């Protein structure tokens, strides 16, 4: 850690960025609390809140399995000047708090003429690991982003974590849902290579290119980078947009990119129907479908609950190989695109340093 970029070390892991964000939240804002099941556990939500129960014992609050009630407590606290950070170690558990988030937190400023706001953060963990099965694997960004009043973000880098979390706590007067991918916690990033962006909640151009636009979310941004590097060696130049904000994507950035490339691939971590892919297609279809030289290609989870067996799980999620093949077919306009497909390796085997179950 000898170089500093934008206040960050030259290299930083996803986990370190989350820990940095949580420590800063409690250190810099006396009204902030961290609350949820496992926040005082010895593993500290994948190591992201370790030590905080000792340094801030009255502001790190362990809870029972009572997601709906705890979220209601957070809303009441937010209305009285406290900033709650409520953590769900699985995004699936956020469904138990959906009533509070959708029927109350998201609506407050609208129902009361802007007189009341509910500034709070909800951290939810998504993504595969070692056979999570149907109960612990859902990627629910589209569901929450559908609701006016909720901001939904999927940070894919330490920079995005540090800047977005800090901005949410200090400046955003409403509920923000942060979806973190569990396969990324151990990954180390070179922060000096990350571009600065006009707004912490905004989409980012991750890579410039002229042949095809890949709009990606969360860990699919990393898969898009790997795919772009491989495709570049075979004459295909990809532009990558890290969507980051699921609820408020940068429409103009997407359209400007497609105006340059004429082709669009959307790679999301969830299901395709009624999801992020559908929303990106809606933006293009409503604004200027003439930009497209070919039909859009979308990638997402197979249309079923996640299987538990690893062999089936590997087939269930889109990965580098699917992305390379689909992008090459789109750009070359034929099935026999001539780009060699890399040897298959499971995403969990490539990225995973996860030791599970918690």
Query: Which range (6-10, 179-183, 232-236, 278-282) has the least confidence?
Result: 6-10
How far is it, in rounded angstroms, from Cα 264 to Cα 110? 35
Q: What pLDDT does 191 receive?
A: 84
With pLDDT > 70 as the criterion, what percentage of the chain qualifies? Answer: 93
77 against 134, higher pLDDT? 77
Segment 133-144, tens digit of pLDDT: 888 889 999 999
Select from 73, 104, 320 the least CA-distant residue to 221: 320
With pLDDT > 90 as the criterion, what percentage of the chain qualifies? Answer: 84
301 band by pLDDT with thresholds 50, 70 and 90: very high
Segment 30-39, tens digit of pLDDT: 999 999 999 9
Select from 192, 127, 114, 121 the least CA-distant residue to 151: 121
Average pLDDT value for the chain:
93
Per-residue pLDDT for 110 more than 70? yes
Q: 79-99 burial, b for 16+ CB within 10 Å, e for fewer?
A: beebbbbbbbbbbbbbbbbbe
Per-residue pLDDT for 41 more than 60? yes
348 against 103, higher pLDDT? 103
261 band by pLDDT with thresholds 50, 70 and 90: very high
Per-residue pLDDT for 87 more than 50? yes
Query: Which range (268-277, 295-304, 315-324) has the least confidence?
Result: 315-324
Supply the pTM of this predicted model. Answer: 0.94
Beta strand pairing status for 120-126 and 83-88? parallel
Select from 164, 304, 323 the least CA-distant residue to 247: 164
Task: Tell me the three-class secondary structure of the chain, residue by residue.
Answer: CCCEECCEECEEEHHHHHHHHHHHHHHHCCCEEEEECCCCCCCHHHHCCCCHHHHCCCCEEECCCCHHHHHHHHHHHHHCCCEEEEEECCHHHHHHHHHHHHHHHCCHHHHCCCCCCCCEEEEEEECCCCCCCCCCCCCCHHHHHCCCCCEEECCCCHHHHHHHHHHHHHHCCCEEEEEEEHHHCCCEEEHHHCCCCCCCCCCEEEECCCCEEEEECCHHHHHHHHHHHHHHCCCCCEEEEECCECCCCCHHHHHHHHHHHCCEEEEEEEECCCCHHHHHHHHHHHHCHHHCCCCCEEEEECCCCCCCCHHHHHHHCCCHHHHHHHHHHHHHCCCCCCCCCCCCCCHHHHHCCCCCCC
Task: Find the mean pLDDT for residues 299-316.
Answer: 92
Q: What pLDDT does 357 receive?
A: 43
Query: Would you tell me the crossing angle of helices 320-332 and 219-232 to the nearest 10 degrees?
Result: 50
Query: If phi over 0 gives left and psi between -120 and 50 gives alpha, with beta otherwise, what is residue 152?
Result: beta
Select from 230, 228, 221, 280 the least CA-distant residue to 254: 280
């Amino acid at each position: 850690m000898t170089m500093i970029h934008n206040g960050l070390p030259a290299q930083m892991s996803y986990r370190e960025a989350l820990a940095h964000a949580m420590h800063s939240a409690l250190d810099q804002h006396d009204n902030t609390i961290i609350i949820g099941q496992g926040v005082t556990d010895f593993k500290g939500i994948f190591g992201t809140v370790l030590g905080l129960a000792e340094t801030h014992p009255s502001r790190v609050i362990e809870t029972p399995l009572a997601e709906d009630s705890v979220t209601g407590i957070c809303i009441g606290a937010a209305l009285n000047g406290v900033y709650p950070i409520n953590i769900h170690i699985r995004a699936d558990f956020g469904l138990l708090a959906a009533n509070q988030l959708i029927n109350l937190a998201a609506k407050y400023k609208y129902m009361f003429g802007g007189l009341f706001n509910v500034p709070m953060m909800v951290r939810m963990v998504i993504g595969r690991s070692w056979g999570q099965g149907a109960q612990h694997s859902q990627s629910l960004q589209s569901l929450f982003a559908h609701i006016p009043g909720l901001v939904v973000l999927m940070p894919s880098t330490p920079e995005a974590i540090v800047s977005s979390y800090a901005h949410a706590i200090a400046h955003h007067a409403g509920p923000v849902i942060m979806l973190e991918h569990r396969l990324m916690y151990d990954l180390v990033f070179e922060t000096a290579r990350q571009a600065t962006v006009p707004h912490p909640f905004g989409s980012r151009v991750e890579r410039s290119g002229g042949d095809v636009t890949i709009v990606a979310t969360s860990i699919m941004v990393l898969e898009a980078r790997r795919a772009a590097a491989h495709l570049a060696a075979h004459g295909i130049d990809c532009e990558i947009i890290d969507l980051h904000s699921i609820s408020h994507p940068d429409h103009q950035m997407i359209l400007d990119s497609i105006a340059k490339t004429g082709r669009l691939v959307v790679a999301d971590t969830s299901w395709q129907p009624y999801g992020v892919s559908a929303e990106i297609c809606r933006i293009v279809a409503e604004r200027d479908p003439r930009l497209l030289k070919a039909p859009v290609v979308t990638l997402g989870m197979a249309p079923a609950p996640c299987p538990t067996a690893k062999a089936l799980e590997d087939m269930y999620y889109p990965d580098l190989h699917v992305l390379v093949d689909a992008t090459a077919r789109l750009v070359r306009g034929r099935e026999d695109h001539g780009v060699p497909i890399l040897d298959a390796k499971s995403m969990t085997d490539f990225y995973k340093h996860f030791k599970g179950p918690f």
